[in-house]
Amino acid sequence: MTALCDLSLTALSRALARGEHESSAATEACLARAADTKGLGAYLLIDAEGARRQAAAADLRCRAGQRLGPLDGVPLALKDIFLTAGLKTTCGSRILEDFVAPYDATVVRRLKDAGAVVLGKLSMDEFAMGSSNEHCAFGPAKNPWDPTRVPGGSSGGSAVAVASGSAFAALGTDTGGSIRQPAALCGVVGLKPTYGRVSRYGVIAFASSLDQVGPITKDVSDCALLLETIAGHDPKDSTSAPVLAASATEGLEAGVKGLKLGVPKEYFVAGIDPEVRTAVERAIATYAGLGADIVEVSLPHTEYAIATYYLIATAEASSNLARYDGVRFGLRRDPGRGVRDMYLQTRARGFGPEVKRRIVLGTYVLSAGYYEAYYDRAQKVRTLIRRDFAAAFAKADLLVTPTSPTPAFRLGARLADPLQMYLADIFTVGCNLAGIPGLSLPCGFANDGMPIGLQLLGPAWSEATLTRAGRAYEREHDWSRRRPPLARP
């Protein structure tokens, strides 16, 4: 018999509407599972009292026939990058370890207005800078399929919570793959929406032209449902687009017959794990069997994507993180030797090594004499990458690729080699540079039992087509219904 906390979000929502379960019971099941899997390190903070209070209110509404909608009473959790009124928001960093948010991010407010129960805040790489969740200042999260492996990053805690059943869904952020990559490595579904579709107001910034908020869920139906709640124009966010995009839930079961799916030849090259390649090729064959037309496309500037991304992202990070100076909020270390020394001590103790590495690199590429050679050139290559995608979408409705070149690797295996860590994002960063949406969903398992992810990429505002195609594949296999063994580390 399926445990309550292992139901999908959609299944729980329907059960709540029918009166078969109560939000309080679902919330207690998640809190119990979180306690049982505490060693996986998914949560940085659990607000049990607040969650129980919200669940009780949802139960009262349901009994009175005043349910707010499909998310009313559903327990969710948040990556610790979203400001959440009255709760600590650390961004996985010592420099914010005692910071209590004074207001809700727009997406958090939309979830609360929909009646969702907020369980707590989830682990992440410090300031979202990482691909393994090992750069969290409070310790790494661990993959629920094998606690000796990384869960991916930077939204690792979000993927772990969903995969392990300690939340029915979670929100993450994706700057270069930070939703899709951990979703792939933990065997769940993750969506990076079109840039501007979901508000970034109240989301701690890493790289402002790349960051986007999105859902991590157990299956594609859940993903579409959660996106519907958080998406939409927000006048508080100047990068939020006033675009009325197609519904991600309508037409979800329509299938892929007649769709053209492009396979980028540059994404199937030497270096990709053979088991990943085989799993993705089988998924492509499944789509062909469902009536999709498979065509080869080219993204010729893919080889420059990693370098372009790490120049632009670090430059924007250097600018965004300048505000953490020990003066206005957050950590302050003042030995009384003047403001310069206070800055040095605060930032030296508050930031971890990966954040420092990226600040230094970003400051360098923005400095006089190097701006044109690095940052300005990277922006020009970004335009070429965007044009590559536009040309590909002239031939295909969606693109089909691996999400990650390998399954989850061992904890500590790449910490001494930042370049190898950065290369884990080779198939995901182009999506952010182009501002297009991307969906990752499970497409199989390696021989060692670790999940493998399939990535679907679409033109701007095509989330409805992405979720429709993802759902079509999902119906053919049970990958999304499999749950990890929950071995306690």
| Enzyme catalytic residues | 79, 154, 178
**Regarding beta strands 117-122 and 75-79, do their DSSP bridges make them parallel or antiparallel, or are they unpaired?**
parallel
Does 154 sit behind a cis peptide bond, omega within 30 degrees of 0 on the bond before it? yes
Taking the alpha carbons of 105, 332, 211, 71 in that order, is the dihedral positive or negative?
Answer: negative
| Three-state secondary structure string covering 216-248 | EECCHHHHHHHHHHHECCCCCCCCCCCCCCCCC
Per DSSP, helices labelled H in 351-439 are 353-366, 377-393, 418-423, 429-434
Q: How far apart are CA 185 and CA 311, in angstroms?
A: 26
Whether residue 202 contacts residue 340, with contact meaning beta carbons closer than 8 Å, is answered with no
Residue type, 281: E
Element (H, E) at 58: helix 48-63
Q: How far apart are CA 157 and CA 92, in angstroms?
A: 10
Backbone angles phi, psi at 254, to 5 degrees: -75, -15
Token output for 245: 């995009």
Token output for 281: 């090729």
Token output for 185: 């490595």
Whether residue 224 contacts residue 361, with contact meaning beta carbons closer than 8 Å, is answered with no
3-state secondary structure of 466: helix
Closest CA to 281 of 413, 452, 411: 452
